[in-house]
Every structure is written in C-alpha cells, then in structure tokens.
A and B are shown apart, each in its own frame.
Chain A
C-alpha cells in the first residue's frame, strides 16, 4: 500500500500535479474506493485549477465521513484550496463524533472552528475536551474562545457579559492558578478588566506571584499599568514612576506620562493643590534633565509637556517659561534629526512669543562646519516655516525660499561625499523643503513651472541619495500631477515595496490608477501592478489563520487577539478593494465584455459591498513641511483635491454592481447553486440588512463628497442609464432554470459528469411569457448630453492648459461611460433577443446613443493624439528648461541635467496621451 501512495505524495511535494493525478488514477483503477487516494487526487486537481473535477471527488470523500488522519489532512488542504472552511468544520466534527476518545481529532475540530472564527463552537468543544481529558490548557482554550466570542462584533451586547462571566467561572475552576504561565495570567486579568472587576484584578497583579509575572513579562506589565489607571490610582502610579525614573534609570516615556498624569490628577476637585504639585514635578524633571544632559531627551520633553498642560489648565505662572524651554531644547537637541518632530506640538506660537522664537531660530545660518550644524540649520528652517503666516507665502516669497533651501542643499552636499552608495545625504531634507515651497507656489498660481522646478531638483537629489524613498514619494506625487505616469511607476518600483507595504503604500500609485492605464491598448503594466500589490491579501488569508491556530497550540493567549485584528485589518482593507475597483475599470477597457467577466466580477463586488473596511493607507509617511496656515503637502498634491476613500468606493461599487447585475443572467438563486466556497461571514452593520436593490439606489452626501465633479457627473449618467434599461433587462433575462441548464451543460462538457444538486425542470428554452414586453420609452436626455458635456470639458481644460492629470481624468471617464453603456446593452445586441421580446425601438435608441458616444470619443481621441505630438517637441522641452531657470546651476544640477528631466517628462506625457487616445479608437472599434 505504502509503496503505491508514496509516489503520489512525492509528486505533490514537488508540485508535479500532473504526475500526481496519473499516480492516483493508477491506484484507483485497482482500488476504486480508496478515499485517501481520492482526496489526494482532489488536491492535485485543485492545485491545477481543475475545480469542477475536484469538487466531485471532494464531495464523494466527504460523504464517506473519513476518520483516518491522512485522509483528513489531505482533505483539509483540498477544502482550504476551495475556500470551503465550513465543510472542514463539519468533516472534523463528524470524525470526532465517530471517535470521541481521539484527542487529536478533538484538537483538530477545535482548530477548524478557530480558523474561521467560530468561537461559540470552539468554546463548547474545548469545554468538552477539558472534561474528558482533564488537561488545563483545554480549559484556557475554552476561556479564550469565550472572550473572543464576546469581542466578536456580531455578538449582541447583552450576551457579552454572560460570556465574560462564563470565562470568569471557568477560570476559577482551574486546578492550577493562572500565574504559573504568564499568558494564562494575562488572559485572567483581561477577563477581570473587561468585567470591570478592577479590585480583583488589582489584587492579582499586586500579589507576590503577580508581581513576579509582571516584572518579567512586558505584556502583563502593560496590563498592570492599565489596571492601576482604571482603578483611578494616578497618584500612586506617579509615585511608582518617579522611583522607576530615579532609581532604575528607566527612560520609557510612559513613566514620564505617569508623573505628568499624577501632577494633574483630580484637577477639578483639587485645584488648589496643583500649583504646588507642578513646582514639585518641575523640580523633579529639572533634576533628571541636569543629570542626563544631552544623553536623553525624555525629561526636557516632559518639562515642555508640563508647561503645555499647565497652560491648558491656566495654571502657568512664568510667561517666558515656554520660550526658555524651547530655546534650551533646541540648544541641546537642535543637532538631532528628530528635533523638529519633537518640538512641533509645542510651537504653535503667536504674538511676542512667536517673535522671540523666530528671532532665536533665525540666528542659525547656512554656514555649516559639521553634520550636526546642517541638522541644526534644517531644524531651524522647518520650525520657522511651520509658523509662517499666509501673508508671507506669496509665490515670489515661496520661490525665493525654495532657492535659498536649494542653495543650502547644494552647499551641504560636500559633507556626505564619502558615504556608501546606499546611504542618504544629511542635507536631503533641504531638497524636500525646497520642493514643498515650489509646490506651495504652484498651488496658489496653478503655474506648472513651479512643478517642473520641483521635479528637476528632486531628480537631482535622487542622484545624490539613491535610496531616499521620501524623494521618490514626492516625485511620484508630482509626476502624477504632471501626467507622467510611467515615471511615477518607475519611482514606485524603485522603492521596492514589499509585503505589508503593498497595503499601506500602494495608494501612491494605484489610487485612481485607471486614469493612467493603457489597458485599452493592451498594455497591462498598471493592471498587473494591481494584481501584484494584492498578493499580500492572499498570503494573509492563507497564513494568518494558521498562526492563530499555532498560537492556541503554544498557549500564546496574549497574542491571539492581535493576530485576529491583523488578519481582519488586511482581509477587509479599504485599499485592497479600491485596487480591486481600479482593476475592474481597467479590465473592461481591455477584455471582451462577456458573461464570464460580468458574472465573476458581480459576485466579487457584491461580497465587497458587505464588508466593513479598515483604512490602512499610510499618508503620514509623506513628510509635511508646509506652514500650518496652509494645507499639508499631501493635501496639496492630491488627485484633483479628492482622495478616494470609503465613500468613493461605495459609489463605484453601486455603479458597477448595478451594471453587472443588469448584464448578468445570474439571479440570487442561481448564484447560490453555482458558488464554490463559503460566503463571507455576515457582518454586523445594520445597513447591510436592507435589500440590495435599496442599498444600490441610496445616494449619500458624504459619499458624493469624495467624488470629483466629473465623477459625480459620471455617477448621475450611470444612474440614468441603469434606470432606463432595467425594465427591459428584467423582461428579457432568461429564467433561472434555463441558466442552470446551460451551466450544467458546460460542466458536463468539461468533466463528463452532471452538475450535482441540480434538478432541472423540463423547459423549452425561452418559454412564452405571461406579460407583454414593457413599452420602450425615450432614453433620458442625460445620456446623450453626458458626452456633449464631457467633450466641452475636455476642450476647456485643453485650451486653458489645465493639469494633464485633469485632462486624462476627463478623457478616461468619457470612455468609461461608453464602456458602461456597452456592458448594459450587450444583451440587446443579439437580433433574436430583440425580435422575440419585441424590443425593436429600444435597439434603435441604443444605436443612436452609441453613435453619439463614439463620435465624441473619436473627436477627443484625435485631439488627444495631436496634443501628445505637441507635448514631445523641442519647443516644449525648451520651455520647461527655461521655466527651471531658478534652480539651474553651473555644475551638477546644470542645464543638461534639467533638459534630460524635461525630455523624460515630455516623453512620458506623450506616451500616455497618445496611448489613451489611440486606445479609445480601439475600444470604439471593438464595441461598434
């Protein structure tokens, strides 16, 4: 037996699925009822994407209710591959029922439930196992499961306390005290904390054993700190922290915060005491600051925080104290790179204080003698800039400043001459400052010249600091504004974004990416970037659940909630679905619009429409050195001042779900029968309980607020279109029985087997309908008008020399409107459908609108192509170089360097404008 099975495993191990299937077939010939081999064959089939065949075998093995370890393990992989986690639970439950004395099966059943977050069942199994096998860790599994069930958002409020009480009762029944194991102890305190039993929790952490656990385990120590706080022991915590700071030389900021919190404890009731306490704390921090000198920033920062809080409570006594503290901090730490970030919360000054602070900072000159000098100067510039009033930010003043920053940058480069190639120049931030000053000047005037200056100087800074991601992120933003997406992508790829960064940073390049895609021409660069960045979500769903199971196995209870949060944050990431939406928008411009595309995307988008999203996008990574009187650099360089978020996603989901619904033959009953794998867990948002049709029709102001005016126009167009066509689709769509029969036929062709679980009623195709076809009405005027308006918008932006980004935005939305029209009218292209359903007049209307749309598209297309030509001329390049006069120097950042940047920009711009233009013609032709 072993001799026959081994080659199968070997083939599977080496991913030779074909030979694994052959080896399975060989065994199955002789032993047609060998379920292990069937399970292994199913696995090989799943891995070779032969889902239909795998399903058949899979169901057969499940029906046999396997109990042996090898078959169960093989099936676990099969079911995971098919996304059928519920079946995995049932399989293990059945097996455990058959062999209730089998501890391993019990464990696996518990894990199967844990993988899908089925905490209620998990809790019951663990309790049962504890009674049966008398091992304490099953008791703690049970406690943890009860806590997790209580945390689950779908658990009703009233049940939560019941579950936590249950957890508490289970804990008290344990044979061994929880402090034997730090993680068990952590769980115990967590339960008490959530029940509000602070006294009991306090007693535990302050018991002799509790103290030992907390002192050696930071997670427990964090909990202890929290319990003290919840018990209102701010003063005691402050005393303790003072000792830690003084005796143990602990410099963790949390200790300093405890002292500060204690100083202002009961500020309402004990106001009279507080001035005295402030003086005491001042002396304490002052003493520590003296001892530490420049070795540690904690106490000088704590002194600043103390002064800030005293001012908030109107208890500050010395009006010059803040200035003195700031100056002294700058004296000590101005040569450290973090000084600006450190002081930012304390320098929102006005009046005399601001005057004194400004005068102090202006003493820092650009005459550097050392690297700390450079940082002192940079920190002073950042701090000065932070407080500049709007009146000081005229375009002239800003470009003057940009040049000053740049000169200091170039002057300071010599200090980084000997650094290794991957290191960053100490002066890099001066180039960023210069960029932001130019961008602020652009923002006020709309004059692109400022952006060219910024781009050229950043490109130069990148030559000197190859690994500076900050420089690249700035360039990406500017190149997107300038309509040079190939350059933006080049820089994005050079950052070498990996793993979770795909979730947090891909918005830089993939937000509204369909604007910059050439998928209509068959160039899938941006399309594949979407897929590439989305891989992390697959590895998350494959890996993280396994780690949750492992954490149970290793009794790492304190980590389990973190794993669950992490899995959820990635699984339901907003960026994931924003990218998905962009991918769909690119797909329809490239692929044939048929039922395969429509049905699949419809199901996926509907799943997304039920999610509760987390926004993991990192916008703070983009440094902001713009003055506090104007918008941040991130806001200034947003795509047409609108960053897509949840509202934007919701609008586009509504548009596309509606369109695909109309185009698709799948209704809910059919979808259920054809769906492979589990449906996502229902979520707790009451809004998702409304019928889908209602939800699709709702228009919300906060969602619309995230749209650009052109997108809003597109949204209105899409609503009018689907509203007009719905009755005809509903009348014409084949009945579910016919759709299922067709699906069965296809499965049979593929696998030679009939589709299981389908009873198809006898029907003769499109049976006679009872109702008369709906009367064809005139299309809403909005439809044809949309194309006229967009054509006008295009011309206006072209003539006013608006941002290339805006131009591309208008063009791609016009094309998208046409594609949406195609999606929703393909059904009526078949002459027999029109004839049987007597929809001749409809088909006439459709023809007219299509003709209108294609006329506008080809007009825009030729204008865009000739715009592309003009962009790539010598004159245009010369113009750009001339615009960059303020930054051109004799060597390094010289005329030739800038010319080269100008060349790259104009070429990239030509490529996208020309490509999008020609792509439109192609799209029109495909869907003529």
Chain B
C-alpha cells in the first residue's frame, strides 16, 4: 500500500472506488478544482498501481490571502476505500495525512465532515478512532433525504 498525492489523471482510476460509494454527484470540474486549488490535501492509496482508496479535501471559511484567519478550517469532501481493502486502517491513514497538511500547510484550526446518520461503520471510525465529535445534525443533507451528522475535530495540536 502506497499513499501519494492525487493527480488529475487519477480520476479515471478513482471512479472505480466511487461505484461502491453512496452516489453523490461530483462533476469533473469539482474534482479538478480540488486537485488544483488545494493540491496537498487530497491523496490516493495505491496497491500494485490500482487505486484502492482516496480522500478529497478542501479548505473552507477564509479567503486565500488571509492566512491568519482563525476560522480557516479543512473539510473532507469525500473519502472512499474499495470494499475489499477495508478494515486495514486505510481510511485512517488517508485522513491523518490530509489533516497533517491542513494544519501545517494551511494552518487549519479544525477539520469538518458530514456522515450519514445510518452509516455506523464510518461514524465509529470518525468518532472512536479519529476523535471527531458531532456538532450538529443537518436534516435531509443527502440527495435521498437522509440526515447527516456534521462532525468536527480540532487540529490545534497538529499546528506548528
């Protein structure tokens, strides 16, 4: 297993991961925007040249040119691991890699994400393994009407 920065032409390989994911619609443009705007936040996990997982993340809450804004925070847009590569700590590694960059490169004070209320496995990972806490419930966040937990984790300890 090798973790490296996402490249634009990975899109072709990343799409396989998305088949297993819940069907949220991210356009070509959206992916390219992430890769170009915050190149250090998105990673793929490779196994023998095959992409088996990825994290797509961005920065929120401040303008590019105001680095000291306290509200600057990272947001995980999408994280996905091929089913056959689950329970190997892969999502955790991807997440930590991205969090580290959020804190050191972009001085993010916290990281946020959304998770389906019914997705107990993911909830367990974020809360128990990574230390996220639930901040809010967003009603009908997903296209199919399901609610989302809005979760957060402080990155103060990581900031250098």
Q: Is the pair A499, B26 in contact by a Cβ cutoff of 8 Å?
A: yes
Q: Is the pair B15, A499 in contact by a Cβ cutoff of 8 Å?
A: yes
B96 on the A face (CB < 8 A): no
Q: Is the pair B88, A500 in contact by a Cβ cutoff of 8 Å?
A: no
B11 on the A face (CB < 8 A): yes
B83 on the A face (CB < 8 A): yes
A543 to B88, CA, bound (A): 36
Q: Mark A483-511, 1 if CB is under 8 A from B, else 0.
A: 00000000000011011110111000000
The stretch among A250-258, A729-737, A763-771 that forms the contact with chain B is A250-258
Query: Which chain A residues border B47 with CB–CB below 8 Å?
Result: 253, 338, 341
Q: Is the pair A556, B39 in contact by a Cβ cutoff of 8 Å?
A: yes
Q: Is the pair B39, A559 in contact by a Cβ cutoff of 8 Å?
A: yes
Could you tell me the distance in whole angstroms from the C-beta of A777 to the nearest C-beta in chain B? 51
Could you tell me the distance in whole angstroms from the C-beta of B99 to the nearest C-beta in chain A? 15
A620 to B19, CA, bound (A): 14
The stretch among B27-35, B67-75, B130-138, B150-158 that forms the contact with chain A is B27-35
Q: Is the pair B28, A543 in contact by a Cβ cutoff of 8 Å?
A: yes
Could you tell me the distance in whole angstroms from the C-beta of A672 to the nearest C-beta in chain B? 33
Query: Which chain B residues border A216 with CB–CB below 8 Å?
Result: 104-105
Give the size of the chain B interface in residues (CB under 8 angstroms).
44
Q: Is the pair B9, A253 in contact by a Cβ cutoff of 8 Å?
A: no
Query: Which chain B residues border A501 with CB–CB below 8 Å?
Result: 15, 18-19
Quick one: which of A419-437 are within 8 Å of B by CB? 420, 422, 424
A208 to B20, CA, bound (A): 44
Q: Mark A255-276, 1 if CB is under 8 A from B, else 0.
A: 0000000000000000000000
A663 to B101, CA, bound (A): 62
Q: Is the pair A422, B22 in contact by a Cβ cutoff of 8 Å?
A: yes
Q: Is the pair A566, B11 in contact by a Cβ cutoff of 8 Å?
A: yes
Quick one: which of A204-233 are within 8 Å of B by CB? 216-219, 222
B16 on the A face (CB < 8 A): yes
Could you tell me the distance in whole angstroms from the C-beta of B68 to the nearest C-beta in chain A? 20
Q: Is the pair A562, B39 in contact by a Cβ cutoff of 8 Å?
A: no
Return the chain B residue nearest A623 by Cβ. Answer: B84
Quick one: which of B85-109 are within 8 Å of A by CB? 85-89, 104-105
Can you list the 5 inter-chain pairs with the closest CB atoms, starting with the nearest? Answer: A566-B9, A337-B84, A562-B8, A420-B118, A469-B19
B36 on the A face (CB < 8 A): yes
A544 to B29, CA, bound (A): 8
Q: Mark B10-53, 1 if CB is under 8 A from A, else 0.
A: 01100110111011011111011101110110000001001000
**Assuming the A-B contacts A500-B11, A562-B9, A618-B16, are A543 and B32 also in contact, with contact meaning beta carbons closer than 8 angstroms in the complex?**
yes
Could you tell me the distance in whole angstroms from the C-beta of A347 to the nearest C-beta in chain B? 15
Query: Which chain A residues border B125 with CB–CB below 8 Å?
Result: none
A536 to B32, CA, bound (A): 14
A7 to B73, CA, bound (A): 39
Q: Is the pair A298, B8 in contact by a Cβ cutoff of 8 Å?
A: no
**Assuming the A-B contacts A422-B22, A543-B29, are A336 and B12 also in contact, with contact meaning beta carbons closer than 8 angstroms in the complex?**
no
Q: Is the pair A499, B36 in contact by a Cβ cutoff of 8 Å?
A: no
A565 to B12, CA, bound (A): 11
Query: Which chain A residues border B62 with CB–CB below 8 Å?
Result: none
Query: Which chain A residues border B86 with CB–CB below 8 Å?
Result: 337
List 19 extra interface pairs beyond A420-B119, A495-B19, A499-B15, CB under 8 A.
Answer: A216-B105, A217-B40, A218-B4, A296-B89, A297-B88, A336-B88, A337-B86, A337-B87, A341-B84, A420-B120, A500-B12, A550-B36, A554-B37, A556-B36, A562-B8, A563-B8, A563-B32, A565-B9, A566-B12
A843 on the B face (CB < 8 A): no
Q: Is the pair B2, A252 in contact by a Cβ cutoff of 8 Å?
A: yes
Q: Is the pair A496, B12 in contact by a Cβ cutoff of 8 Å?
A: no
Q: Is the pair A337, B15 in contact by a Cβ cutoff of 8 Å?
A: no
Query: Which chain A residues border B105 with CB–CB below 8 Å?
Result: 216
Q: Is the pair B7, A559 in contact by a Cβ cutoff of 8 Å?
A: yes
Q: Is the pair A540, B28 in contact by a Cβ cutoff of 8 Å?
A: yes
Query: Which chain A residues border B2 with CB–CB below 8 Å?
Result: 252-254
A556 to B29, CA, bound (A): 17
A297 to B23, CA, bound (A): 30
Q: Is the pair A554, B7 in contact by a Cβ cutoff of 8 Å?
A: no
Query: Which chain A residues border B28 with CB–CB below 8 Å?
Result: 499-500, 536, 539-540, 543-544
A337 to B18, CA, bound (A): 18
B76 on the A face (CB < 8 A): no
**Interface residue tally of chain A, by bracket?**
35 or more
Query: Which chain B residues border A424 with CB–CB below 8 Å?
Result: 20, 83
Q: Is the pair B84, A504 in contact by a Cβ cutoff of 8 Å?
A: no
Could you tell me the distance in whole angstroms from the C-beta of A108 to the nearest C-beta in chain B? 19
Query: Which chain B residues border A539 with CB–CB below 8 Å?
Result: 27-29
Query: Which chain A residues border B159 with CB–CB below 8 Å?
Result: none
Q: Is the pair A252, B83 in contact by a Cβ cutoff of 8 Å?
A: no
Return the chain B residue nearest A218 by Cβ. Answer: B5
Could you tell me the distance in whole angstroms from the C-beta of A577 to the nearest C-beta in chain B? 17
A695 to B35, CA, bound (A): 42
A295 on the B face (CB < 8 A): yes
Could you tell me the distance in whole angstroms from the C-beta of A81 to the nearest C-beta in chain B? 18
Query: Which chain A residues border B19 with CB–CB below 8 Å?
Result: 469, 495, 501, 621
Could you tell me the distance in whole angstroms from the C-beta of B54 to the nearest C-beta in chain A? 13
Q: List 24 A-B contacts (CB under 8 A).
A: A216-B104, A253-B47, A295-B89, A336-B88, A337-B84, A420-B119, A469-B19, A496-B23, A498-B23, A499-B25, A499-B27, A500-B11, A500-B15, A501-B15, A504-B12, A539-B28, A544-B28, A547-B33, A550-B36, A559-B8, A565-B8, A565-B9, A620-B50, A621-B16
Query: Which chain A residues border B40 with CB–CB below 8 Å?
Result: 217-218
Q: Is the pair A337, B85 in contact by a Cβ cutoff of 8 Å?
A: yes
Q: Is the pair A554, B36 in contact by a Cβ cutoff of 8 Å?
A: yes
A467 on the B face (CB < 8 A): yes
Could you tell me the distance in whole angstroms from the C-beta of A93 to the nearest C-beta in chain B? 27
Q: Mark A528-543, 1 if CB is under 8 A from B, else 0.
A: 0000000010011001
A499 to B86, CA, bound (A): 25
Return the chain A residue nearest B121 by Cβ. Answer: A423
A392 to B10, CA, bound (A): 41
Could you tell me the distance in whole angstroms from the C-beta of B27 to the nearest C-beta in chain A? 6
A127 to B68, CA, bound (A): 36
Query: Which chain A residues border B37 with CB–CB below 8 Å?
Result: 554
**Assuming the A-B contacts A222-B4, A252-B3, A500-B11, are A337 and B83 also in contact, with contact meaning beta carbons closer than 8 angstroms in the complex?**
yes
Return the chain B residue nearest A501 by Cβ. Answer: B15
Could you tell me the distance in whole angstroms from the C-beta of A419 to the nearest C-beta in chain B? 9
A488 to B33, CA, bound (A): 35
**Assuming the A-B contacts A218-B4, A547-B36, are A498 and B9 also in contact, with contact meaning beta carbons closer than 8 angstroms in the complex?**
no
Q: Mark A557-572, 1 if CB is under 8 A from B, else 0.
A: 0110011011001000
Q: Is the pair A498, B25 in contact by a Cβ cutoff of 8 Å?
A: yes
Name B15's contact: one of A504, A547, A558 (CB within 8 Å): A504
A616 on the B face (CB < 8 A): yes
Query: Which chain A residues border B1 with CB–CB below 8 Å?
Result: 251-253, 297-298
Query: Which chain B residues border A554 with CB–CB below 8 Å?
Result: 36-37
A74 on the B face (CB < 8 A): no
Could you tell me the distance in whole angstroms from the C-beta of B17 to the nearest C-beta in chain A? 11
Could you tell me the distance in whole angstroms from the C-beta of B93 to the nearest C-beta in chain A? 8
Query: Which chain B residues border A420 with CB–CB below 8 Å?
Result: 118-120
Q: Mark A824-863, 1 if CB is under 8 A from B, else 0.
A: 0000000000000000000000000000000000000000
A253 to B7, CA, bound (A): 19
A696 on the B face (CB < 8 A): no
Query: Which chain B residues border A252 with CB–CB below 8 Å?
Result: 1-3
A617 to B110, CA, bound (A): 40
Query: Which chain A residues border B16 with CB–CB below 8 Å?
Result: 504, 618, 621
Query: Which chain A residues border B88 with CB–CB below 8 Å?
Result: 297, 336, 338
Could you tell me the distance in whole angstroms from the C-beta of A394 to the nearest C-beta in chain B? 30
A551 on the B face (CB < 8 A): yes
Q: Is the pair A336, B9 in contact by a Cβ cutoff of 8 Å?
A: no
Name A547's contact: one of B5, B12, B32 (CB within 8 Å): B32
Query: Which chain B residues border A562 with CB–CB below 8 Å?
Result: 7-9
Could you tell me the distance in whole angstroms from the C-beta of B86 to the nearest C-beta in chain A? 7
A551 to B8, CA, bound (A): 12
Could you tell me the distance in whole angstroms from the C-beta of A229 to the nearest C-beta in chain B? 15
Return the chain A residue nearest B16 by Cβ. Answer: A621
Q: Is the pair A559, B35 in contact by a Cβ cutoff of 8 Å?
A: yes
